[in-house]
Structure 1
């Protein structure tokens, strides 16, 4: 009798203990079955958000390629995880619905008597959708911050072939003269000057990637200086190149001291100050004076400056013997760049047409030997192969220049003329408005696609777009 009572009591206790668990499980199952469609919609929405997040990171990485920066390890792992998860979700959203349709006919017959088949499938799929949606939330929360790239290791750098320098006699000769000065132990600073769009930045970029220069210096740091230099921005550029953190330091003096102490530890240092408009006090930035490095054996710092004005180079205490002018290209060199940039768009036999060659000469004369103008011209004509289009563009290019040019300081007439003409001939009004929108960003800014997307939505530049994915795709064109 005691054993029966004990068994009954145990059974009651087990029933009371298991009842909530069973009820919770049943409630969970019912919730998945009931919310089958909602969970699928949730997964599709989360998938769209993940796609946008991935495109933002891909865009950020792509924008930094030209600055010799590569994705950080954390960024690489995140992108790999995202790609893997997106493949799994694609499998669920694309392939499985097709399989369901194929099964539907069979299930209609077999499951009339056993409706639990459809319920079980709904439960499984709804649970999987919710699980994948939660995974997407988690991976979006792990999205890397704004600093998704890092400077490429100097050991990984290779000489970058450049169409502006390859085979151009004037540029090859000038580059050799500059390299000779940089090899000289007695030369502490070298200056390069020339008009805007003449190719100074291209030249010093090629020099910084020259194998001999990379082996000569322990650190090579190239900094873009604007017309109105911002000291903090300059310091940030240098710190970023050498992996120095200045986060939380708002005092220019504190940043200068930390930067100076870090650079002073470099035995062989080359600082390239690109696009200098006026004398820059190196000590205020945190750059060690080159002459102080020469006091210690096997330790030196050299400065390479580019400017539009010769007197700016001289104001930086650069000897006249060490200042070089970048001059316009001659006609043969201009033609070489122009045809190389056009590539295979214009076939070899097309250049046998004397009319095309004459128009080429007329347009290149308008470029004035400026590489940037020549490249801009070639880019405009890449998709215009007909002689009629070339003639129309040539005629437009030779028209008197707009008076609005006088408002812009530092914009070369030839470059402006080509840009203005190509804008006038742009048929797509939406592209025109995007072009003007991009012009509002500061010089040298890398424009995030997501920003263009948001502005495009606000300005109603998109047509027939009902979601963010389509808007981003149009903004990225």
Structure 2
């Protein structure tokens, strides 16, 4: 009997659950509709507050260059839709409709009230679910993938002569018994294009857990290779550790990926991959190494199990590619025969074909004949580069329309891979290439336009981001050779630096010295206009006494804390870059009165001294990532009357409130107001009280990135 009573009670309870409670809830939709709308409005306000907190965390992460988690971004998108102006308007309309009455106002509109009240209740429940989600962490560090490093392949040319090589590479990657694959061929034949395509396919199809792409080139610095691999794996290596310890960390990380592809592009001499930290087949069967080199012997020394040659294009393929790049002009009666001869001179090399064809696109018959004459010339010294490629690139250079374009291209050559357009701008301005343009913005547009033209001409490559560009190793070698031949420029490397320094006649006539890593005891270069060096170095106090005509000077990652006293001799200097240098004091820079660009990005200075206020011709001041910068002397910025661009991203933020301190010990934002030419500003303002009384005007045309507290204003 008790058992039956228990069953009856249970059934009664369920009956109440399925009948009474729903009935009460439904009645609530009719008679408590005002409460439903009040609850919804309250939930929307809670969601607004929660969204603001999450957005603040996201903005802070974005400023640090971190990646936002997908679920956080989805939550923000959904929350924004719930609290949008449209949602608020709809809520108000629904509330008003629910209050309407029918039958001449004598009776409520129960159907409409019920439906809208139910809708409000459902929306409140959905917002409650959103509010339950908590985000202790909203982001992760940015880890570049191989596809972020390598240039995009806009259109892979699937020539028959390439299909076999591509198929062989793909088959070797699937073969569990093959771990090291070598691709070889002469410069400009398309090795990098092939392995770039393979790497992108592996990334997109997720056929490997990790894909790493490293450009090795002629400087085989194992530490640099380690850093490139580690950055793409999200692994942070300690610079203070020995190379062997870093290799052990790298090897351990690579073993954690079941299948990993490592592309080592453009190897010039034997590399000991295990010393770098790349595991051998015995250590990790799933690690595949794909290498390219101009020399098959180097690949053999590195124990390549599969050697795959890349040959030149056959005659039909070469002509079809040439026609595609040169355009319809090749089909005209008077040009076609000459064009066929020009194409033959490119020797079936895609790089040569592409550069020459694009250079002659739209040109007249006389220019085609002149190009053929140049390609037939035996005067050009290929200097170890395939003669056809060298002549092709040299001819393309000849057909660049202006002297400024040619000089810009040669500067790109000494800058190398992954160079920043912004750095190119600073060099061009310093050397006076665009003196006819009166603002930095006009000069930037001109430089960007030139880079785009050079990319279209296949003399440059598209970079990993729109702010950067690349250059093929062969094109770079030819550019350096042309610069040395025609302009007395020297782009020196680690291996030939002392030989060049010792040639006094060469140095006396030299106009440019780029990317050196060591200095001689003395230097006599009266014609030198550009000097660039990187790395640990001691600069003698009188080093600049005999090179007073410098217009561009660049030091990067140097460890001198005090600038050499002879720097004051550089009265013609227009661009000075002191990036990531261990500087303590820069008062001496105030004597460089003709300086137009001062780049101190990442330097360790703690004070921007009052002497900087003497640089009244300064157009660009770059103080990004100067994280130790605590003081900008008062009234320095306001004296820079020619300043057009000021960069303080992730740097100084100790703005004083104007009028509070008297006298002030630091800069105030009010000092920016008199700078009538200022069109670019990146600055962080932690306290809104530091804003000038009439606010910081952003009404001028230009680029502004101003963060106030956690909020970023982009104009």
* Pairing 1:370-449 to 2, within 5 Å after superposition: 370-382=349-361, 384-403=362-381, 405-406=382-383, 409=384, 411-441=385-415, 443=416, 445-449=417-421
Q: Give ranges in structure 1 of 5+ residues lacking alignment.
A: 1-70, 75-147, 295-299
Q: Give ranges in structure 2 of 5+ residues lacking alignment.
A: 1-64, 69-140, 450-715
Say if 1:250 and 1:371 are closer, same or farther in 2 by CA, change over 3 A.
farther
Say if 1:212 and 1:425 are closer, same or farther in 2 by CA, change over 3 A.
closer
Aligned to 2:335: 356
- Whether the aligned pair in 1 keeps the contact of 2:263 and 2:291 (CA below 8 Å) is yes
In structure 1, distance between residues paired with 2:252 and 2:295: 31
Aligned to 1:332: 316
- Whether the aligned pair in 2 keeps the contact of 1:194 and 1:307 (CA below 8 Å) is yes
Aligned to 1:165: 157
Higher helix proportion (structure 1 or 2): 1
**Structure 2 residue aligned with 1:458, among 418, 430, 434?**
430
**SS of residue in 1 equivalent to 2:279:** coil
**Structure 1 residue aligned with 2:170, among 163, 170, 179?**
179
In structure 2, distance between residues paired with 1:177 and 1:314: 17
In structure 1, distance between residues paired with 2:341 and 2:375: 9
CA RMSD, 1 decimal: 2.8
In structure 2, distance between residues paired with 1:242 and 1:248: 17
Aligned to 1:151: 144
- 1:192-215 CA-to-partner distances (Å, cap 9, x unmatched) read 111111111111111122369944
2:214 is the counterpart of 1:218: no
In structure 2, distance between residues paired with 1:431 and 1:475: 9
CA apart distance, 1:328: 0.7
In structure 1, distance between residues paired with 2:389 and 2:244: 40
CA apart distance, 1:265: 0.7
CA apart distance, 1:325: 0.9
In structure 1, distance between residues paired with 2:261 and 2:146: 16
2:181 is the counterpart of 1:190: yes
- Whether the aligned pair in 1 keeps the contact of 2:210 and 2:257 (CA below 8 Å) is yes
**SS of residue in 2 equivalent to 1:340:** helix
* Pairing 1:261-272 to 2, within 5 Å after superposition: 261-272=252-263
Say if 1:469 and 1:205 are closer, same or farther in 2 by CA, change over 3 A.
same
Aligned to 1:476: 448
Higher strand proportion (structure 1 or 2): 2
CA apart distance, 1:285: 0.5
In structure 2, distance between residues paired with 1:340 and 1:73: 40
Say if 1:161 and 1:280 are closer, same or farther in 2 by CA, change over 3 A.
closer
* Pairing 1:30-429 to 2, within 5 Å after superposition: 73=67, 150-152=143-145, 163-166=155-158, 168-210=159-201, 214-246=205-237, 248-249=239-240, 251-294=242-285, 300-319=286-305, 322-342=306-326, 346-347=327-328, 350-382=329-361, 384-403=362-381, 405-406=382-383, 409=384, 411-429=385-403
**SS of residue in 2 equivalent to 1:223:** strand
Say if 1:181 and 1:425 are closer, same or farther in 2 by CA, change over 3 A.
closer
**SS of residue in 1 equivalent to 2:188:** coil
In structure 2, distance between residues paired with 1:413 and 1:153: 32
In structure 2, distance between residues paired with 1:213 and 1:450: 31
In structure 2, distance between residues paired with 1:245 and 1:337: 44
- 1:361-420 CA-to-partner distances (Å, cap 9, x unmatched) read 2111111111111111122123x34333322322222222323x33xx4x3222221222
- 1:27-80 CA-to-partner distances (Å, cap 9, x unmatched) read xxxxxxxxxxxxxxxxxxxxxxxxxxxxxxxxxxxxxxxxxxxx8658xxxxxx
In structure 2, distance between residues paired with 1:196 and 1:153: 23
**SS of residue in 1 equivalent to 2:283:** helix
- Whether the aligned pair in 1 keeps the contact of 2:153 and 2:193 (CA below 8 Å) is no
- 1:146-204 CA-to-partner distances (Å, cap 9, x unmatched) read xx9752598x99xx7664532x1010121112211221111122111111111111111
Say if 1:181 and 1:449 are closer, same or farther in 2 by CA, change over 3 A.
closer
In structure 2, distance between residues paired with 1:201 and 1:193: 10
- Whether the aligned pair in 1 keeps the contact of 2:268 and 2:293 (CA below 8 Å) is yes
Say if 1:250 and 1:397 are closer, same or farther in 2 by CA, change over 3 A.
farther
Aligned to 2:44: none
Higher relative contact order (CA 8 A, sep 6+): 1
Say if 1:149 and 1:454 are closer, same or farther in 2 by CA, change over 3 A.
farther
CA apart distance, 1:324: 1.3
- 1:301-360 CA-to-partner distances (Å, cap 9, x unmatched) read 1111111111111111123xx211111111111122222334xxx33xx55434322222
Say if 1:161 and 1:440 are closer, same or farther in 2 by CA, change over 3 A.
closer
Moved more, 330-339 or 205-214: 205-214
**SS of residue in 2 equivalent to 1:324:** strand
In structure 1, distance between residues paired with 2:420 and 2:142: 15
In structure 1, distance between residues paired with 2:270 and 2:169: 21
Aligned residues: 312
Say if 1:439 and 1:359 are closer, same or farther in 2 by CA, change over 3 A.
same
The TM-score, its normalising length taken from structure 2, stands at 0.41
Say if 1:249 and 1:376 are closer, same or farther in 2 by CA, change over 3 A.
farther
Say if 1:236 and 1:332 are closer, same or farther in 2 by CA, change over 3 A.
same
- Segments of 4+ moved more than 6 angstroms: none
